[in-house]
Amino acid sequence: MNSNAEINFIEIKLVNESYKIFFGKDYIENSAYYIKDFTKTNKIAIITDKNTANLYLNKISRSLLDNKYEVIHIILESGEKIKNLSSVENVINNLLEKRFERNDLIIGLGGGVIGDLAGFIASIIHRGVDFINFPTTLLAQVDSSIGGKTGVNTKYGKNLIGSFKQPLAVFSDTASLSTLPIREIKAGYSELVKHALIKDKELFFWLCKNWNVIFNQDKEITKAIKWSSKIKAMLVQEDVKERGSRALLNLGHTYAHAIESLLKYDGTILHGEAVSVGILLAYQTSYLLGHSKKDELNKIIEHFNDVGLATDLKKYNKNNINSDILLNAMNNDKKVKSGQKTFIIPQGIGQAFISNEINDEIIKSVIDTALAS
Ligand X SMILES: NC(=O)c1ccc[n+]([C@@H]2O[C@H](COP(=O)([O-])OP(=O)(O)OC[C@H]3O[C@@H](n4cnc5c(N)ncnc54)[C@H](O)[C@@H]3O)[C@@H](O)[C@H]2O)c1
- Enumerate binding residues for ligand X (CB under 6 A): 49, 51-52, 55, 78-80, 83, 110-114, 116, 136-137, 139-140, 143-144, 147, 149, 158-159, 176, 179-180, 184, 187, 271
Cβ 338 to ligand X shortest distance, Å: 24
Nearer to ligand X, 144 or 323 (CB): 144
Write b or e for each residue in 216-246: b if 16 or more Cβ atoms lie within 10 A of its Cβ, otherwise e.
ebeeebbebbbbbbbbbbebbbeebebeeeb
Select 24 or 147, whichever has its Cβ closest to ligand X.
147
Are 271 and 187 spatial neighbours (Cβ–Cβ below 8 Å)? yes
Rounded Cα distance, 350 and 244, in Å: 18
CB 142 within 8 A of CB 192: yes
d(CA 75, CA 48): 5
Sign of the four-CA dihedral 95, 98, 103, 107: negative
Cα distances (angstroms) measured from residue 156 to each of 144, 160, 261, 319, 335: 21, 8, 10, 20, 10
Q: Supply the minimum distance, in Å, between the C-beta of residue 105 and ligand X.
A: 20
Beta bridge partners of 353: 345
Least Å distance, CB 79 to ligand X, is 5
Kindly state the smallest distance separating residue 147's Cβ from ligand X, in Å.
5
Yes or no: say if 159 and 105 are a contact pair by the CB < 8 Å rule. no
Sequence-ordered list of residues with C-beta below 8 angstroms from that of 12, at least 6 positions apart, any chain: 18, 19, 20, 21, 146, 147, 166, 233, 236, 237
Nearer to ligand X, 240 or 327 (CB): 240
What Rg value do the Cα atoms of the chain yield, rounded? 20
The distance of closest approach from Cβ of residue 355 to ligand X in the complex, given in angstroms and rounded to an integer, is: 22
**DSSP H or E run through 23:** strand 18-24
Mark out the alpha helices in 98-215 (DSSP H runs).
112-124, 138-139, 182-199, 201-210, 212-215
Minimum separation from the CB atom of position 205 to ligand X (A) = 25
Residue among 128 and 181 whose Cβ is closer to ligand X: 181
Question: Least distance in Å: CB of 182 to ligand X?
Answer: 11
We find the least distance from the C-beta atom of residue 82 to ligand X, in angstroms, to be: 9
- Our CB check for ligand X shows the closer of 15 and 182 to be 182
Closer residue to ligand X (CB): 88 or 139: 139
Cβ-proximal residue to ligand X, closest one: 112
- Using CA atoms, how far apart are residues 280 and 136, in angstroms rounded to an integer? 27
CB of 148 to ligand X, least distance (A): 8
What type of residue sits at position 56? Answer: Y
- Residue 147 or 252 having the CB closest to ligand X: 147
Is the Cβ of residue 188 or residue 346 nearer to ligand X in the bound state?
Answer: 188
Phi/psi-derived region of residue 68, left when phi > 0, alpha when psi is between -120 and 50, beta in every other case:
left
Q: Is 206 exposed, middle or buried (0-12, 13-18, 19+ CB in 10 A)?
A: middle
Nearer to ligand X, 52 or 222 (CB): 52
